[in-house]
Structure 1
Amino acid sequence: MEGSGGRRITVSPRPCCGRRVVAKKNPRRGGAGDGFINSVRKLQRREICTKSIRGFSIIDAQERFRNIRLQEEYDTYDPKGPSSVILPFLRKRSKIIEIVAAQDIVFALAQSGVCAAFNRETNERICFLNVSPDEVIRSLFYNKNNDSLITVSVYASDSYSSLKCRSTRIEYIRRVQPDAGFALFESESLKWPGFVEFDDVNGKVLTYSAQDSIYKVFDLKNYTMLYSVADKNVQEIKISPGIMLLIYSKTSSHVPLKILSIEDGTVLKSFNHLIHRNSKVDFIEQFNEKLLVKQENENLQILDVRTFELTEVSKTEFMTPSAFIFLYENQLFLTFRNRTVAVWNFRGELVTSFEDHLLWHPDCNTNNIYITSDQDLIISYCKADADESVSEGNAGSINVSNILTGKCLAKIRASNSFPVAKECYCSDECSGGCNSRKRKQTSRIRSTVTEALEDITALFYDEDRNEIYTGNRHGRVHVWSN
């Protein structure tokens, strides 16, 4: 489930991406009361653009992606592996599971646990981030508050049983000093079923130590601990802007809930939510003042925790999704189910169905989906059209769609892509499109466009550079730009 932009990570040499980093068994200010919740809502809400501005946004998006093409290829595989590794599986080629870009650096994490950094200016691999001989990196998080990359790892020497976090300044990585970082949360025992969750929206880190059943909240800016929640009856914590939802062990008739201020842990509201006795709870999610509850074979319930007004959506209209993404800017949420994406509002109404956005992967892996910061575009790896599938083989397409309208604004596919870009060493004025004999074919791109669009396992969009980065099952990263 995707909530406030955070991620939990699991302990295992073979990770599955999720919202948190959860330790699995080896092989994510203000005052109190309703006023605070309402204030959070007002601060987070922005008006949906007027039609004229929205129209300009659509045209701008179409132009941004109109001439995008395959420009560069990076490879995370090195038969020697990081110079210090001793683990055999780190030396094997494996698929890319996560891509993060920070400034001019692109980080690509392979399923094996190897993470490589590439410089977009020089197009060279800078270094590997594995700094210990037995380190298996599980996930990445770019902390924009202090311009650093946080790596979450497990270690063979620890039987892969505990999560270890490290923060490294981007500048150190650029200088090929990946070992210049420092450890985080060393006092915490993050063994199964413990976890660490990075919440970018609130600027917080949530950890759970299963050893003593204590949740702790840290400041993402300086990693100081703010407060702790020690309660063995808490079954789950969900984070949304300004608040945390504590979900307690359910009884036969209700689920006890508490809403806390994310800043200082102050209890803002405590209440019980009635449930059907014989139906298991599929999910409980909190979005500002709205509580979403879905039980198996029951209607979706949307409860306003200020007024306790209840809205129900028929179980035939809203079926349990495999993942959520909350759109805080627009007061909407995305659901993912059976390769399809839908947009809902908190009145339980279907806002958007996408016209051409059938996801390639059935598991709704959110590492293959990117939502822009304005929350107006969704970029995903999708199934090719039926008439293209024969000619393009196993190649999918990268689709750019408007979230509010469902319209497909751009599509990168083999049949309409430009030729692979090659570097040109003519005059400074040359745009790279010349036919000069001086032009040197020095590109490192080994894949054709069709091959680059096959088996994409990770996707990231750099909004500042207007570049899309994709990774595939062979451990290669492709750069798509204008």
Structure 2
Amino acid sequence: MAGRRITVTVSPRPCSGRRILARKRPRVDGFMNSVKKLQRREISSRRDRSFNMADAQERFRNIQLQEGYDTYDPKQQSFSRLPCLCKRSKVTEIVAAHDIIFALTQSGVCAAFSRETNQRICFLNGTPDEVIRSLFYNKSNDSLITVSVYASDNFRSLKCRTTRIEYIKRGKPDAGFAIFESESLKWPGFVEFDDVNGKVLTYSAENSIYKVFDLKNYDLLYSLSDKNVQEIKISPGIMLLIFRRTSSNVPLKILSIEDGTVLLSFNHLLHRNKKVDFIEQFNEKLLVKQENENLQILDVTNFQIIEVSKAEFLTPSAFIFLYENQLFLTFRNGKVAVWNFRGELVTSFEDHLLWHPDCNTNNIYITSNQDLIISFCKASSGDSSAEVGSINISNILTGKCLAKIQPSHSTPSHSTKWQHASRFQWSVSEALEDITALYFDEDRNEIYTGNMRGLVHVWSN
């Protein structure tokens, strides 16, 4: 599942790309960029969309804890001049490509592990003062992009680097090269990677210029300069420009993502003196919600509006749009719901209370054919006193829980200690405590989880 948008500060929703926002100053606790960041992963069509419930249940029926890795290495961490990089910290992000697992920790250390050898290949931190903020696997050219800040720059600017996967496999992460060096990505500047359209969006706050690059070769395509633009939202084929609101309306423009051509300009009426909770673009649909007002779903092709009662649709903490199914997920207070663009609730999930109520979507994975959601949840009916959670695999269209990974589920006893090439011991129960990151490798049919101690676990059948 690719294509994510991430902001270091809280954003209304994860979007089609992956956005990393520059910050004024680093946090002392190691740049808490993933606890509250929201991500949306690109969801594309596949020929196997007929994948049914029985197939899914069989696919996950015998999944068990198989292996574990440690992101912490005292020798490597002593290489750093930064105290935050010398400490063990939780896994905030996991990405997999070509049998390699990349695990990023809250402190900014990124480690690569091989599923073929079950060994750590290398660390991706190239210098003693580099703090990696985020990862992005670029399918367009089979490379990993790291976005970092540096102590030598007082952690003020984002720096991007791309490294081909084949070099990382050989243990040569230094073979990569810097990209977007001409861009000043100081706070509140950002970079956003968009798998859906194969584009990169950057924003330089110094001159209020947005630039769009080709994701495959990083060539500049065009620039946009307007100090009145407050936000840009990306959808398949288009960009939505949201301008500074007036007392009664908000000016909007829809542009072609390919060349920046303006396709439509209009003003959307607002309730006076009511703050805007969110404005979201999904193909021809515009979702607008103001504080204590109904949700409005506007069709920009004919300007017809559907309203959903504010009692039925409460402002969510995050969205995930399902492109092919013409649906969207909402997340609120640890609960997930599925809606259509007629404003109708399609699905509520059974036995699916997310472990992290702030909707840290690093603990959520949507399969590429849009039929399954894999999440780290409360183990049993939302028991808040339970120390161990469960990994739930649920059908998005029905809300049914198809499989669950929990201590009693795995063949080895939950008290059994495992020890492999990772050189540390763990049990199934311990592996299901405090999961902070989750990723599903659809090619290998393996789930990877990371926890508070910086450990990565592999679940496979």
Output the TM-score relative to the length of structure 2. 0.90
Q: 1:408 aligns with which of 398, 401, 411?
A: 401
SS at match of 1:179: helix
Q: Percent identity?
A: 76
Counterparts of 2:132 and 2:264, CA distance in 1: 39
Q: 2:444 aligns with which of 460, 465, 470?
A: 465
Task: From the superposition, tell whether residues 451 and 46 of structure 1 become closer, same or farther in structure 2 (CA, over 3 Å).
Answer: closer
Q: Which residue of 1 aligns with 2:24?
A: 25
SS at match of 1:307: coil
Counterparts of 2:47 and 2:171, CA distance in 1: 44
Report the residue type matching 1:334 in the other structure.
L
Counterparts of 2:374 and 2:44, CA distance in 1: 23
Q: Which runs of 4+ in 1 moved over 6 A?
A: 44-49, 387-390
Q: Which residue of 2 aligns with 1:30?
A: none
Q: 2:321 aligns with which of 323, 326, 336?
A: 326
Q: 2:70 aligns with which of 71, 75, 85?
A: 75
SS at match of 1:318: coil
Q: 2:337 aligns with which of 338, 342, 351?
A: 342
Matched, 1:317 2:296: no
The CA deviation at 1:404 is: 0.6
Q: 2:281 aligns with which of 264, 273, 286?
A: 286
Counterparts of 1:304 and 1:244, CA distance in 2: 15
Q: 2:410 aligns with which of 417, 426, 440?
A: 417
- The equivalences for 1:191-206 within 5 A come to 191-206=186-201
Q: State the Cα deviation string for residues 188-244 of structure 1 (Å, max 9, x = none).
A: 000000000001111110000000000000000000010011000000000000000
Counterpart contact for 1:10–1:195, Cα < 8 Å? no
Residue segments in structure 1 that go unaligned for 5+ positions in a row: 12-16, 28-43, 422-439
SS at match of 1:206: strand
Report the residue type matching 1:453 in the other structure.
L
Report the residue type matching 2:92 in the other structure.
I
Matched, 1:450 2:429: yes
Matched, 1:5 2:12: no
Greater Rg over alpha carbons, structure:
1
Residue segments in structure 2 that go unaligned for 5+ positions in a row: 27-42
Output the TM-score relative to the length of structure 1. 0.86
Q: Which residue of 2 aligns with 1:476?
A: 455
The CA deviation at 1:84 is: 3.9
- The equivalences for 1:254-269 within 5 A come to 254-269=249-264
Q: Which residue of 1 aligns with 2:37?
A: none
Report the residue type matching 2:406 in the other structure.
R
Which has a greater percent of helix?
1
How many residue pairs end up in the alignment?
Answer: 435
Q: 1:152 aligns with which of 120, 142, 147?
A: 147
The CA deviation at 1:415 is: 1.8
Counterparts of 1:164 and 1:442, CA distance in 2: 36
Report the residue type matching 1:211 in the other structure.
E
Counterparts of 1:442 and 1:162, CA distance in 2: 40
Structure 1 vs Structure 2 CA RMSD: 2.3
Report the residue type matching 1:156 in the other structure.
A
Matched, 1:167 2:162: yes
- The equivalences for 1:20-99 within 5 A come to 20-27=19-26, 57-82=52-77, 84-99=79-94
The CA deviation at 1:420 is: 7.1
Task: From the superposition, tell whether residues 326 and 172 of structure 1 become closer, same or farther in structure 2 (CA, over 3 Å).
Answer: same
Q: State the Cα deviation string for residues 90-148 of structure 1 (Å, max 9, x = none).
A: 11000000000001100000000000000000000001000011000000000011110
Counterpart contact for 1:46–1:330, Cα < 8 Å? no
Q: State the Cα deviation string for residues 322-378 of structure 1 (Å, max 9, x = none).
A: 000000010000000000000000000000000111000011011100000001100
Task: From the superposition, tell whether residues 462 and 210 of structure 1 become closer, same or farther in structure 2 (CA, over 3 Å).
Answer: same
The CA deviation at 1:8 is: 3.5
